[in-house]
């Protein structure tokens, strides 16, 4: 019997690396993001090559109807859900100073990163509680947060606020679901080479050169995926509400 994992944002960037790792670990996958399936053809094929059955669902995380459809289609195809990886997220379209931040951008970023993550987790957790117990744990939920949960960037305050909310969501759901044997943990990437950071590549190249990150290189989606897969595995049995920094040591305060 294979586990079924939902991976939001699972067809590109960090989410794709997570999907690949979970496919290698023997999971079937429901992959969710905004584009049409055709756009991710090669990515989804790479998951099937790793032995996974894959179902793609197109929708937006900030839509209640789309979240419900994601769960409904997952159940129709696979019958259950054992793992939820909340990877999907957006940065602000424009990096504006905190004093210029717009409500529109705040609503968009918080709506996807925070509200979408919280209510999809609520939906999937209810499903996990209602289904037959087949594996060592009833469920694993992993949030892809960010170092921005605790690091101030005044040119993208709404993103930092959204990731701080994800950090609290990790604690809240971990607390609520611990006695139900559903483990909820979080991975906090630092600066990872994906489409999201492509627009600010030069800035981060310079910071790496200046030694801002103790491990002096860009992080890779695979670096993050290893940590997410660990939290999804049976190796984790007595840990919930925790987060792991995958940030090249960026969180270390220095003098």
Ligand X SMILES: NC(=O)c1ccc[n+]([C@@H]2O[C@H](COP(=O)([O-])OP(=O)(O)OC[C@H]3O[C@@H](n4cnc5c(N)ncnc54)[C@H](OP(=O)(O)O)[C@@H]3O)[C@@H](O)[C@H]2O)c1
Tell me which residues touch ligand X (CB under 6 A): 8-9, 11-15, 32-35, 60-62, 87-90, 112, 144, 146, 189, 191-192, 194-197
CA dihedral sign of residues 97, 192, 33, 225:
negative
Q: How far is the CB of 130 from ligand X (least distance, A)?
A: 24
CA separation for the pair 132, 28 (Å, rounded): 17
Beta carbons within 10 angstroms of residue 190's beta carbon? 23
Per the residue annotation, which of 40, 159, 204, 238 is the catalytic one?
159
Q: What is the dihedral of CA 28, 77, 85, 184, to 10 degrees?
A: -100
Q: How far is the CB of 34 from ligand X (least distance, A)?
A: 3
Please, is 181 exposed, middle or buried when counting C-beta atoms within 10 Å of its C-beta (0-12, 13-18, 19+)?
middle
Smaller CB separation from ligand X, 42 or 255: 42
Smaller CB separation from ligand X, 27 or 144: 144
Sorted by sequence, the CB contacts under 8 Å of residue 244 that are 6+ apart come out as: 185, 186, 187, 188, 227, 230, 231
Please say whether the beta carbons of 118 and 67 come within 8 A: no
DSSP for residue 99: G
Q: How far is the CB of 188 from ligand X (least distance, A)?
A: 7
Smaller CB separation from ligand X, 157 or 189: 189
Q: How far is the CB of 50 from ligand X (least distance, A)?
A: 18
Smaller CB separation from ligand X, 137 or 145: 145
CA separation for the pair 53, 77 (Å, rounded): 9
Q: How far is the CB of 44 from ligand X (least distance, A)?
A: 12
Token pair of 115 as six digits: 């509200």
Smaller CB separation from ligand X, 114 or 128: 114
Q: Is 159 a catalytic residue?
A: yes
Catalytic residues, by residue number, are 159
């Amino acid at each position: 019997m294979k586990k079924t994992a939902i991976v939001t944002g699972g067809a590109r960037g960090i989410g794709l690396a997570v999907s690949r790792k979970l496919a290698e670990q023997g999971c079937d996958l429901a992959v969710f993001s905004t584009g049409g399936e055709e756009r991710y053809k090669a990515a989804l094929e790479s998951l099937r090559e790793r032995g996974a059955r894959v179902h793609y669902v197109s929708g937006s995380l900030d839509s209640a109807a789309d979240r419900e459809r994601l769960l409904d289609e997952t159940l129709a195809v696979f019958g259950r859900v054992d793992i939820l990886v909340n990877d999907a997220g957006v940065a602000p379209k424009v990096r504006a100073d905190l004093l210029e931040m717009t409500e529109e951008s705040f609503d968009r970023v918080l709506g996807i990163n925070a509200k979408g993550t919280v209510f999809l987790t609520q939906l999937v957790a209810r499903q996990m509680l209602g289904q037959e117990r087949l594996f060592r744990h009833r469920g694993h939920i992993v949030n892809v947060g960010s170092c921005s949960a605790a690091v101030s960037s005044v040119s993208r305050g709404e993103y930092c606020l959204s990731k701080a909310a994800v950090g609290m969501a990790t604690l809240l759901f971990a607390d609520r679901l611990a006695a139900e044997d559903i483990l909820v943990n979080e991975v906090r990437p630092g600066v990872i080479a994906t489409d999201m950071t492509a627009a600010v590549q030069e800035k981060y190249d310079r910071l790496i050169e200046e030694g801002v990150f103790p491990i002096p290189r860009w992080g890779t989606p695979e670096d993050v995926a290893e940590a997410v897969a660990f939290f999804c595995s049976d190796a984790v049995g007595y840990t919930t509400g925790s987060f792991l920094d995958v940030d090249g040591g960026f969180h270390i305060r220095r003098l």
